[in-house]
Amino acid sequence: MLMDLRAVNAVIQPMGPLQPGLPSPAMIPKDWPLIIIDLKDCFFTIPLAEQDCEKFAFTIPAINNKEPATRFQWKVLPQGMLNSPTICQTFVGQVLQPVRDKFSDCCIIHYIDDILCAAETREKLIDCYTFLQAEVAIAGLTIASDKIQTSAPFHYLGMQIENRKIKPQKIEIRKDTLKTLNDFQKLLGDINWIRPTLGIPTYAMSNLFSILRGDPDLNSKRILTPEATKEIKLVEEKIQSAQINRIDPLAPLQLLIFATTHSPTGIIIQNTDLVEWSFLSHSTIKTFTLYLDQIATLIGQARLRIIKLCGNDPDKIVVPLTKEQVRQAFINSGAWQIGLANFVGVIDNHYPRTKIFQFLKLTTWILPKITRHEPLENALTVFTDGSSNGKAAYTGPKERVIKTQYQSAQRAELVAVITVLQDFNQPVNIISDSAYVVQATRDVETALIKYSMDDQLNQLFNLLQQTVRKRNFPFYITHIRAHTNLPGPLTIANEQADLLVSSAFIKAQELHALTHVNAAGLKNKFDVTWKQAKDIVQHCTQCQVLHLPTQEAGVNPRGLCPNALWQMDVTHVPSFGKLSYVHVTVDTYSHFIWATCQTGESTSHAKKHLLSCFAVMGVPEKIKTDNGPGYCSKAFQKFLNQWNITHTTGIPYNSHGQAIVERTNRTLKTQLVKQKKGGDSKECTTPQMQLNLALYTLNFLNIYRNQTTTSAEQHLTGKRTVHMKEN
């Protein structure tokens, strides 16, 4: 009969379970004969206290109200009442207590209404069972005669028990019903319940566990992936083949810890017989859990389990550590000290010779191999920093700034540390002003990384771990407090790293990405050091490739003031298409350059170009050109006479007479290539726009050798150049 007892349950004080877990059949001594019984309708044979019966009264109404309704009340435990299971356990336990007292050398296991009796001999078992029958009858309970088991194989609490072996009962997992989070939660709960018998390591179920992530709504949709399907198949195979052993009551239990991937695996054994498996949870509380801490946690968990099973600590614990590593763990690891507190047995590292453990997939990342906890001698020292604007940087033997997608200073600094570990293939000491990044980097080599809903953070931590594990040389990382104003080289170097992600440096880097201005120009325009300016240029892939040796400037006569003497030439830029004829003019005093793209190199094109030059540079006293037909025509000479400009030409077929403008041609072309391949500006689409951006960089930003100002400043002010010292 079904009754709605929710109102009653709401006012009942819960008694709580008296058996919080299932008893393990592995603790039944091997070769002992068994009898298993089931109490028939156990709840309905346990009487309620007389004063409580009225609280469970109910009414059955008459059909069509043709007579008064009939009132009833429960006199036995009602199914569905909150405390019925606990009362049942207590009542049956009291019935069995005289049996336990009289046959203390027998093994009696009771769970709800299932009772197992085992004795060393068949005769003693019969005596125990006979006495148990009498006690059960006196208490008013009934044994289900059709469920009495007296011969192997026995079926008890989902297990098949034989004389020495225990196997899970054969089941088939239905995959067609797995649609929602609730479905997968129930499935994994059932699998987790029998994992101590199946021996499926945590790493072998990672894809199934991953399905539980995401939307917490029980009805949210979930998909069974091909990888998870393979893991379910593994579970089914293990159900068919897995087995554990019944114990020898005279032999102690031992605990073996295996360094499996993802997390360690524990095995409780007796001699070489498998008794039970022990695993850690797939998810962790901490973001990083060191592998050594996982081993310590598993030891503590398994010790508690063994004490629950037999009342004693294991006789021996075998761990994948050397004696020296165990000694260091006791000194340095708080988790290790807790996990092995009060343990008086043997800690060993010699595993028994048996094939039953060989399928486990082991890891070598137990203790750090690359990470050091003391500064390295004769190693590079590198300082890192990150900014909330997404810039990451390091400074040391060289400087580098990385533009990241992150708007977090900590994440940007993580990128900086990862870059250092990738760039320096040698021992290195890293100094960071982020305690969070330092701790993460110290722990990551052997850590289990907790899954986060933040995909960016997952990717960063996984990349950091992969980078550390791939290194061939050790590193040390430590924390330094920023902005302390303390004296010494560490504070100064850390401030330099801060400057790399400061606004001035970032603006310098952004301007170079747009224009490819040279280092001297960056130093002049922004508050950055020579080293920082040079590093910006050196880390530009286009500037590195295109900084090739240039031809000598020659001994051409130079003007003594702006517009005293120009050199003029035509160069070709094929990418400009029809406008590939680029007319170039350079002032030989200031090195100011002007250029226009034309459709040809005739006199009319030269005149058009010069008018553009006059508008920007002014009118020169002299112009030197080659002997091209466009420059030697009467029309061109007439044009120059109108502007009172003296015209000279070089020696025919001798390019050295035009060395200054020839070098300018090369400089201009190189600048155009840099902008095209590595520039951040997408607005400069036409040939003249590209040319104008290059001219702006060369005239108004770049500073050349032996100059202290830009070409534009010299051309407009007429100031003499002075050698620019590198400070």
Q: Mind listing the pLDDT tens digit for each residue in 267-315?
A: 999 988 999 999 998 878 888 889 999 999 999 999 999 999 999 999 9
pLDDT at 111: 92
Query: Does residue 719 contact residue 713 with C-beta atoms inside 8 Å?
Result: yes
What three-state secondary structure class fits 666? helix
Per-residue pLDDT band for 414 (boundaries 50, 70, 90) equals: very high
Contact 213, 455 (CB under 8 A): no
Cβ(218)–Cβ(282) below 8 Å: no
Nearest C-alpha neighbor of 561 from the set 717, 724, 722, 701:
717
Residues ≥6 apart with Cβ < 8 Å to 597:
573, 576, 579, 580, 581, 582, 583, 687, 688, 691
CA dihedral 99, 102, 104, 109 (to 10 degrees): 0
> Per the structure block, which two tokens stand in for 662?
């020839």
pLDDT at 646 over 80: yes
Q: What percent of the chain has pLDDT over 70?
A: 90
Structure tokens, 188: 């994994």
Strands (E), 200-261: 244-245, 254-258
* Residue ranges of domains in the chain, CATH in brackets: 5-163 (3.30.70.270), 167-244 (3.30.70.270), 247-360 (3.30.70.270), 371-499 (3.30.420.10), 502-545 (1.10.10.200), 565-718 (3.30.420.10)
pLDDT reading at 522 higher than 80: no
- pLDDT tens figures, 146-172: 999 999 899 998 899 999 999 988 777
Residue 594, pLDDT above cutoff 90: yes
E strand or H helix that includes residue 403: strand 400-403
Q: Are 660 and 556 in contact (CB under 8 A)?
A: yes
* Mean pLDDT computed over every residue of the chain: 86
Q: What are the beta bridge partners of residue 316? A: 254, 346
Reported confidence tier of residue 123, pLDDT bands at 50, 70, 90: very high
